[in-house]
Amino acid sequence: MRAYIVHLAWLALAACTFPHPSSGADFVLPDGTLPGQLSLDLRLRYESATQSGVPRAEALHLRTRLGYTSPVVNRWQMMLEGDQAEVLASDDNALLRTDAYGQPYLSPWRQTAEENSPARFTQAWVAFEGGDTRATLGRQVIALDNERFIGPDNWRLSRRTFDALLVRNTSLADTTVTYAYLWRVNHPSPAPPIWSSTYYSRFSTTRPPREHKIDAHLLNVSYRRSAAAKLTAYAYLIDIGTYFANSTATMGLSLEGERRMSPSLLLGYRLEGALQRGYRTVGYMTRSNTSYAAAQLRMAGPTASLTLGSERLEGSSWSAKRQRFDTPLASSHRFTSWTGMVSFTPGNGLWIHSGEATVQLPAGWTFLTGLAEYRPVGHEVFAYFAIVPPFPHFDYGRARELRLSLSRDFGRHLKGLVKWADFQSRTMLPSARRLWLQLDFAY
């Protein structure tokens, strides 16, 4: 009952303070000034999980997010945002949780009450703008580049945020320099992505903390002279005190761009490579160097697009689980697996080959279909979340995931989404299917 009261309170506040939609999101004081902007974001999601060997699980979730952003006054600005996620209905087999990398899913392994994300402040920051520099201090959303290494993972009901100091400078021509110091990462769910899957697996009932102290320095420098080429160099030094085996120092380069080949064809590309080693680890936890490589090609026409990509995340040993390329703070849902069955890099590495096609249908509908193939870099089998030991001579085969989605905007504020994924594997990994029906209201 308390959860519903909280939701009603959010909606009552929005109803009392928001103007008529035709007047926009800014609200006006009697003297005609604009003291800021309110934002309301509601997400209603039905989720169904089917997996071989376990009962089907279903649940209906509601995420409410309300925020306020002040205007820039004497170069200062502030922002305050809170959200809450609740399970409105479910069956006896459903358990709303996240996997080792923070992906939301229904766990049909345990018949346990759902775990919700309580009301919390997701953003609370103050910013100062001076010339070509903007500094933001406080709890905030940070997304760098394509979010492969640092991102909020917006697919989650409640996104990841950071307590950080973020400084961005554009004083050099065609160059953007971003530096961030992070001292805390905030996870709304009880199984955060930076936690070891060995201790907090899908079978575990242990609840790790929702906030983690970290000591991270992020530097990202990008140079873009034209749309045809953008060169980015980055160094991400992440010390995760709660589980220091995942503490990493990652340095890399990326090159991306697009060029219109004809009035009806746009060609885009992205190339990226990175090296990773242990950061502030000693003794037996010292990591060896591992590498990351990715290539992507995109072709887009007036009503359709095709994207082909390949990623290689190196792993040097399964027995030394720390010796694998980690991306603990990435927006990993769209980069790894929609079903969440492959959510971290095995000790023997991971190849991901993917293809995705998007078609604009009549009446404003957008259809997407994609296929991802997974296989280890080495010769060891895909081990199931480090709980089942690997068998080096076992035929690991190949795992595949088929992805489909259909979406449409209904006016300015409402969007509908139907999303489905099917994971099939010839190894010890079970087959799984996920279905989502979702409505988003943003104002």
Q: Are 190 and 207 in contact (CB under 8 A)?
A: yes
Whole-model pTM? 0.82
Tell me the Cα Rg of the chain.
22
On the question of pLDDT at 235 being above 70, the answer is yes
Q: Determine the pLDDT at residue 408.
A: 97
Per CATH, the number for 2-437 is 2.40.160.10
Pair of tokens at residue 403: 């992805």
233-237, 305-309, 390-394: least confidently modelled range: 390-394
Which tens digits make up the pLDDT trace of 11-63? Answer: 444 444 444 443 344 555 555 555 889 999 999 999 888 887 777 888 888 99
Number of H helices, E strands in the chain: 1, 20
Residue 415 makes CB contacts below 8 A (sequence gap 6+) with 407, 408, 409, 439, 440, 442
More confident residue, 200 or 265: 265
For the chain, what is the mean pLDDT? 78
Which tens digits make up the pLDDT trace of 176-227? Answer: 999 999 999 987 544 434 433 333 333 344 444 567 888 999 999 999 999 9
Which tens digits make up the pLDDT trace of 126-162? Answer: 999 998 999 999 999 999 999 999 999 888 888 899 9
Return d(Cα 411, Cα 16) in angstroms, integer: 23
**Helix or strand holding residue 86 (H, E):** strand 76-90
Q: Are 311 and 336 in contact (CB under 8 A)?
A: no
Q: Where are the domains of the chain?
A: 2-437
More confident residue, 297 or 399: 297
315-324, 331-340, 354-363: least confidently modelled range: 315-324
Q: Determine the pLDDT at residue 34.
A: 57
